[in-house]
Chain A
Amino acid sequence: MTAHVAETNLALYVSGDVSLWRSALVSLHLAQCSRCRNRADAYRSDRTQIQRIASEMPVGVESEPDWDRLAMEMTANIRVGLAAGECVAPRRRKPVTLGWRPAAAMAGLVVVLASAWWLNMPPSTTQALGRAMTAIWHGHGSVMQEERGLVVEATSSGIELRENGGTLGVSQGAARPLAVSVSVQGSASARYINADTGQMTITSVYAQ
C-alpha cells in the first residue's frame, strides 16, 4: 500500500478543493486504506458540525426573547444610522423627468404670462424697452428719450447728450473711459482710471 495521504490534502479533498488529478489519486487510496478513510470521514463530520453550530444563535441570545430584544435594538439603531446618513449626505434620488405634455403645457403658460406682462406695460415703457433691446441687438450703447428729443449715448470718449441737433459731451480730458454702460432706465455711466494715481472716477448721466 502507498504512503498515507497528507492531512492537508485530506482536509481539502472532503470539500472538493483539490485538483481533479489529486482527487482521483486520493479516492483510489481511500478505497484501500481504512485509516485515511476514517480521517476523511472525520473531516467531513467537522464540516457538518461547523455548519450546524453556525446556524445556532450564540450563547446569550439563543432564546427567542433575547434575540427579539437584540434584533429590535439593532433595527432601531439601523434606522437612526440611516437617518443620520441622510442628514450628512442626502441619498441621491432618481431625477424627476418631465413628460413632453407637461413640458409643452408649462411652455405655453410661460408664453401667455410673458405676453400678458408685455401687453399690460405702459406703451412708453414697452417702446423704450423695445428700442433698448434693438440697440443691444445691434451693438449700439445708446439710450434715447425721443419723446423729449433727448439722446444719451455712451461713446468711446465718454458720454454724450444730444438734443435738437446740439451735442454735449461729458469726458475726463483726453482720458479714455475704461468701461461705459447704459441702462434701459435712460442712464449712461463711464469709468475712468487715472494712470498715475490709480484713482477711479465714475461719471453717470441720467436722462429725465
Chain B
Amino acid sequence: MSEAPGFTRYDAVPLTSEQETRFVSENMRRVFLLIYRIVGNVPDAQDLTQEAFIKALQRQDQLKDLDKAAHWLSRIASNTAIDFLRRSGRVSFSGIDEMPEPFVSAPGENPEQLVLRSEHREHLENALGVLTHRERTALLLRDVEGLPAEEVAARLNCSKATVRSHIANGRVKLRKFLERKA
C-alpha cells in the first residue's frame, strides 16, 4: 500500500504527544475501514482500531523505516483483525442490519442515484458476507490493500498457494452470488 499523499513524515521515534495525535487522526479512517472490511461490523471494528493504534504507539520503537509508517500500521491493523477472528472463530455481520441507514447523498447525486448506490453497496456487502473470513481477508489484502500474494500469505500465516486458492475461491463465489442476485 502506498503512503497517502500529504501524510506527515516523521523524523524520529518515539513520537511526541502532538505527533501521536496527528498520526492517529491521519490514519484512523484508513485503519478503521481496513479492519471493518475484515471483521464485518462496526462495534468490533471500533474496538480493534483502538487496539491497533495502542499497539502501534506502544511499539513504535520497532518501526525501523519511518517512511513506511503507514504500511507498518496497516500490518498491525490487519494482524489485529485476523487475530480477533482466530480467537473468536466467527465473523458477525449483525451490526450492519442493526445500524440505522442515514439519508446522506454525495454532492450532485439525486435520490434515485442514492438509492441505487446504496442498494449496490448492500449487494456487494452481502456478497462479501458469503465468503469465509480467510477468503475475504485474502481478497481485501490483495485487492484493496494491494499487497502481493507473498505478503498476504505472511499475514495469514499460510503458504502462497493457499492464499491463491483463497483469492480464486473468493472471487468465484462473489461472482456467482452477484450473478444469482442480478
Enumerate chain A interface residues (CB-CB to B < 8 A). Answer: 7-9, 11-12, 15, 17, 42-43, 46-47, 49-51, 53-63, 66-67, 70-71, 73-75, 77-78, 81-82, 85, 91-93
Contacts and interface: CB of A to CB of B under 8 A. Distances in A.
B121 interface: yes
A74 B168 contact: no
A43 B139 CA distance: 12
Contacts of B164: 12, 17
A15 B104 contact: no
Given A59-B96, A70-B46, A47 B143 contact: yes
Interface of B: 14, 20-21, 24-25, 28-29, 32-33, 36-37, 42, 45-46, 49-51, 53-54, 57-58, 61, 95-96, 99-102, 104, 120-122, 124-125, 128, 139-140, 142-144, 149, 164-165, 167-169, 171-172, 174-175, 178
A46 B33 contact: no
- Secondary structure of the A side of the interface? helix
Main secondary structure of the interface of B (DSSP, over half): helix
Contact of B49 (A60, A74, A92, A93): A74
B37 A82 contact: no
A117 to B, nearest CB: 41
Given A11-B168, A15-B167, A75-B28, A55 B124 contact: no
Contacts of A77: 50
A17 B149 contact: yes
A59 B32 CA distance: 13
Contact of B167 (A12, A56, A67, A82): A12
Contacts of A67: 29
